[in-house]
Amino acid sequence: MADNLELAGQVALDLARTMMICVTLFKSDGGYAVVPSDDFDGDPETIVHEYDPFQPWRRR
């Protein structure tokens, strides 16, 4: 869990690229969290970004 969105985004991207799986970055009550996309079962409105290691990624 992280309070900083930029840090959480870096962790999510690194995790996606390392594990070669899609991961979801979402906002929760305690900050930002990252989980494998297949395991995310929360509210879709809390999703900040989904990282796919098989697609080109660019900084927003």
Break the chain into its structural domains and give their ranges.
5-51
pTM: 0.85
pLDDT 10s per residue in the chain (60 long)? Answer: 678 899 999 999 999 999 999 999 999 988 999 999 999 999 999 999 999 999 875 655
- Name 39's Cβ contacts closer than 8 Å, sequence gap at least 6: none
**Residue 3 CA to chain centroid, in angstroms?**
13
CB atoms within 10 A of CB 6: 10
